[in-house]
Structure 1
């Protein structure tokens, strides 16, 4: 499992443009083939005023304008996993720019778990059909002339995948910048021991491989950053640098997770993202509703 499924072609160097969403500390990416106008969009953000129940698209519109201004062709909209801290704007962008929507095949596991938690009933399909492509470990796809592959890296969620495009890899929440450590593993379907092996798989990529984070929180007041390398992570990651054993990591990760509050947008994010970024269907009164399960003591 710790091995990578394909050789990495470091001569392929995609052009990566990042878009940082301050409200959710999320980094979205436009990944362009340097030899054509083809691109992919990773982990887009739909804006929500949760208290007002208001959806808007300022973050997504910035990406759309960039794509249009540079005359790019969107071939893929990729979700590295079903996010618990922001809502996906993929269907909105797809409606404006086209492209196929892809996520890991284990989204079906996530849909099953949260479909029960939110009591979504039989009308909510738990087969991943909200997406155009469900990636299995090692699946390949193309962005223009670039061959990319999806690598299963669960632990944060069952559906987490790292997408490798030449000398660039998009790791989702599996890793943070070296001073930020690693993802939490206490959500339903998460597992610290599984996460350790997924991280080792990412860190088996070539040392010079560029790694692009889905989030950054500027630890200790530093400026926001989102790009590092395998070598930097192996040398300096505060949770999982070379020499940290599996048991040490699991003990640290488990203890740390017990201190963390839930993301403030987890309730709307999960309900929207397991639907591929779509809002729930309207009720009998024509209103779309997000549920809040009550945990009674």
Structure 2
């Protein structure tokens, strides 16, 4: 992690706030079945766009996929006349399957994730006994991002931040004056992501969150999930750095690293595995593609017994 990356991101946020650069246009699609927020971000000047953390509908009991959630994104992109440059993943999700390959076929765009996906592939390749035919080099993706990488979506500047802890490969994308933070942090009344998956680390998560919360206070944070904290009736996926620093129940200003690690470790020990973790990780570590079909032409999801 470099301070330069935060300085660059903070500078681009200030340029937007001062009217020197365009602000991103953002439309969110919330999938209640997986509590996932997918975002379409576009440049208002050029209409170039990115899709972040898309969802492939999956009926676990039947092992059947469908595309209603992804089709809603296609319909929006077509109606707005957008040109999709990127299919971005903040990490290899354990709670939903990615629709990125299907969306690529419909809309184009390079599929990208963090370079440390190779660590996730190595760990879960062993867990699922994926064999030597499963490449563990990130080659299932079109591009692998590193910390402090920079690119553009039309006239929108983008800075990439590596924010590990939930998984080794988590990224946040600072686009204009907004940051898309994946599973690192949730709404202030719900707290923070778990860190007990293979490769997770509560101390690294704390450092990553504090890094994100060093962005300018007015920075908009777009989340990947919401679970409606007790007492709240509506789903929400937009907050700010200032709100998180003041109100986040797990990591507000004043919470120490040791306090956080003790809380997170204790809390994580009580949590069940996500309902779709087994199909999700097998597909998402392959860039959203199903495992290679077997001799009968069918793809199969493995269920490792007593492994997780």
TM over 0.5: yes
Aligned position for 1:180? 190
Aligned position for 2:226? 216
Aligned position for 1:198? 208
Aligned equivalents of 1:2, 1:287: Cα separation in 2:
45
Aligned position for 2:272? 261
Question: How does 1:5-24 map onto structure 2 within 5 Å?
Answer: 5=5, 6-8=8-10, 9-10=12-13, 11=16, 12-24=22-34
CA, structure 1 residues 172+7, in 2 after alignment: closer, same or farther (shift >3 Å)?
closer
Aligned equivalents of 1:140, 1:122: Cα separation in 2:
33
Verify: 1:284 aligned to 2:277, yes or no: no
Verify: 1:163 aligned to 2:173, yes or no: yes
CA positional deviation for 1:141 = 1.3
| Equivalent residues of 1:4, 1:205 under 8 A apart | no
Aligned position for 1:3? 3
| Equivalent residues of 1:110, 1:189 under 8 A apart | yes
Aligned position for 2:19? none
CA, structure 1 residues 49+221, in 2 after alignment: closer, same or farther (shift >3 Å)?
farther
| Equivalent residues of 2:2, 2:148 under 8 A apart | no
CA positional deviation for 1:7 = 3.8
| Equivalent residues of 1:2, 1:197 under 8 A apart | no
Aligned residues, how many?
296
CA positional deviation for 1:3 = 3.2
Aligned position for 1:274? 285
| Equivalent residues of 2:9, 2:174 under 8 A apart | no
Question: How does 1:225-240 map onto structure 2 within 5 Å?
Answer: 225-240=236-251
Aligned equivalents of 1:21, 1:4: Cα separation in 2:
35
Aligned equivalents of 2:99, 2:296: Cα separation in 1:
25
CA RMSD after TM alignment: 1.0
- The TM-score normalised by the length of structure 1 is 0.98
- The TM-score normalised by the length of structure 2 is 0.94
Aligned position for 1:85? 95
Aligned equivalents of 1:105, 1:145: Cα separation in 2:
25
Instruction: Structure 2: give runs of 5+ residues left out of the alignment.
Output: 17-21
SS, match of residue 115 in structure 1: helix
Instruction: Structure 1: give runs of 5+ residues left out of the alignment.
Output: none
SS, match of residue 270 in structure 1: helix
CA, structure 1 residues 2+139, in 2 after alignment: closer, same or farther (shift >3 Å)?
closer
